[in-house]
């Protein structure tokens, strides 16, 4: 069914955080462009997650706010946005985005939450539980305009950004046979053991076809220091990079091995063959790539998945995934992709 208050001329989409979640909302942007080609679409999120939206042809403006913004600053932003938008689709619906949505005065304010925050919204999409994240976001539009085509997530890089990534690799004597290995994760409970990453790198080097290149989650340099300590051979370890710089590097590699996290989604959105090692996360929600030939999921059955623990005394869901099985899965992926 269509919303009965007229088609929008201006739309604000907001998913304040995190990097992976913002990437998973990009199919909604292409669907909005198809359904309402005359509407201007803007996006509001926190820094640095806005970087994955740069160059997106479906957006007029990206509004990036610091994650440390105070309540006063948040309310000031909401008032500045007053009257600018016909629709606001608040995909996150946390306290900060609810304040901004309520103060904007948009005639349609869509969000999903419970309790007093729900008063910020006059449209609450009814969505099934456990939907893939991409389908969940698209459901905001489908609740207003009926079924829509679901595109894969995408990130858009310029030729210059790709060339800069190629130069960074060439300066270190690396070509296009590099396999990025992302150690760490956004949450420690999602991390594959570092010893397994080191063993996987050794297997790749022994094979002779690929050069393992270690990268780390932003702000978690200590994981790379431990990798260096655990290894008895010379390793390629790249310095910490901003998201766009990292994307330019990934665009020049053969593949990525990663735990669940934002960089994993970034690689898939760039079209890079990506092996994702999942532990406690629900792949049905957070790995919506079953139809993508360049994305492979490596996961073990676990009766307790998904769990919402911050720490686990028995991380068998990750520790039972061997480096040898990861190397085999990566070989299958690269051959297919």
Which residues fall within 8 angstroms of residue 18, CB to CB, at 6 or more apart?
49, 186, 262
Q: Is residue 5 part of a domain?
A: no
Q: How high does pLDDT run on average in the chain?
A: 92
The model's pTM:
0.94
Which CATH number covers residue 179? 3.40.50.2000
CA dist., res. 209 & res. 330, Å (int):
12
Q: What domain range includes position 21?
A: 10-145
| Domain final residue, candidates 88, 122, 145 | 145
Q: Which of 184, 185, 179 is nearest to 256 (CA)?
A: 179
Q: Angle at which helices 323-336 and 194-207 pack, to 10 degrees?
A: 50
pLDDT tens for each residue of 10-40: 999 999 999 999 999 999 999 999 999 999 9
Residues pairing with 277 in the sheet: 259, 298
Q: Is residue 1 part of a domain?
A: no
Q: Does residue 41 have a pLDDT over 50?
A: yes
CB atoms within 10 A of CB 304: 11
- Same-domain check for residues 254 and 209: yes
309: pLDDT confidence band, cut at 50, 70 and 90? confident
Residues pairing with 14 in the sheet: 44, 90
Q: Does residue 227 have a pLDDT over 90?
A: no
Q: Looking at residue 230, what is its pLDDT?
A: 80
Per residue in 320-335, is it b (16+ CB within 10 Å) or e — as a string? ebebeebbebbbebbe
Residue 311 CB-density burial (10 A; 0-12 exposed, 13-18 middle, 19+ buried) = exposed
Q: Looking at residue 232, what is its pLDDT?
A: 67
- Same-domain check for residues 135 and 186: no
CA dist., res. 8 & res. 281, Å (int):
36
Q: Is residue 58 part of a domain?
A: yes
Q: Looking at residue 225, what is its pLDDT?
A: 80
307: pLDDT confidence band, cut at 50, 70 and 90? confident
CA dist., res. 59 & res. 84, Å (int):
15
Residues pairing with 123 in the sheet: 110
Q: Does residue 4 have a pLDDT over 70?
A: no
Q: Does residue 1 have a pLDDT over 60?
A: no
- Same-domain check for residues 193 and 88: no
Mean pLDDT confidence for 254-259: 96
pLDDT tens for each residue of 280-296: 999 999 999 999 999 99
Q: Which of 81, 78, 60, 58 is nearest to 69 (CA)?
A: 78
5: pLDDT confidence band, cut at 50, 70 and 90? low
Domain count, the chain: 2
């Amino acid at each position: 069914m269509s919303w009965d208050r007229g088609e929008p001329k201006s739309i604000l989409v907001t998913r304040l955080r995190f990097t992976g979640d913002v990437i998973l909302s990009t199919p909604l942007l292409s669907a909005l462009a198809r359904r309402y080609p005359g509407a201007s679409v803007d996006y509001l999120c926190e820094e640095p997650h806005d970087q994955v939206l740069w160059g997106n042809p479906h957006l007029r403006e990206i509004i990036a706010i610091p994650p440390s913004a105070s309540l006063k600053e948040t309310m000031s932003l909401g008032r500045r946005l007053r009257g600018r938008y016909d629709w606001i689709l608040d995909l996150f619906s946390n306290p900060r985005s609810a304040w901004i949505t309520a103060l904007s005065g948009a005639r349609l304010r869509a969000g999903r939450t419970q309790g007093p925050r729900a008063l910020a919204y006059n449209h609450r999409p009814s969505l099934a539980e456990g939907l893939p994240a991409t389908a969940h976001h698209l459901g905001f539009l489908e609740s207003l305009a009926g079924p829509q085509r679901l595109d894969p997530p995408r990130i858009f890089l310029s030729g210059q950004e790709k060339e800069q990534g190629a130069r960074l690799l060439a300066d270190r004597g690396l070509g296009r046979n590099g396999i990025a290995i992302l150690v760490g994760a956004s949450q420690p409970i999602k991390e594959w053991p570092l010893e397994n990453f080191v063993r996987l790198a050794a297997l790749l080097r022994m094979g002779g076809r690929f050069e393992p290149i270690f990268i780390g989650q932003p702000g978690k340099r200590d994981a790379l220091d431990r990798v260096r300590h655990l290894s008895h051979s010379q390793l390629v370890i790249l310095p910490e990079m901003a998201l766009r710089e990292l994307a330019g590097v990934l665009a020049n590699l053969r593949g990525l091995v990663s735990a669940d996290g934002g960089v994993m989604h970034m690689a898939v959105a760039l079209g890079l063959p990506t092996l994702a090692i999942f532990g406690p996360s629900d792949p049905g929600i957070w790995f919506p790539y079953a139809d993508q030939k360049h994305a492979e999921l490596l996961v073990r059955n676990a009766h307790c998945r998904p769990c919402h623990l911050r720490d686990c005394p028995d991380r068998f869901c990750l520790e039972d995934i061997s480096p040898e099985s990861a190397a085999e899965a990566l070989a299958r992926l690269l051959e297919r992709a």
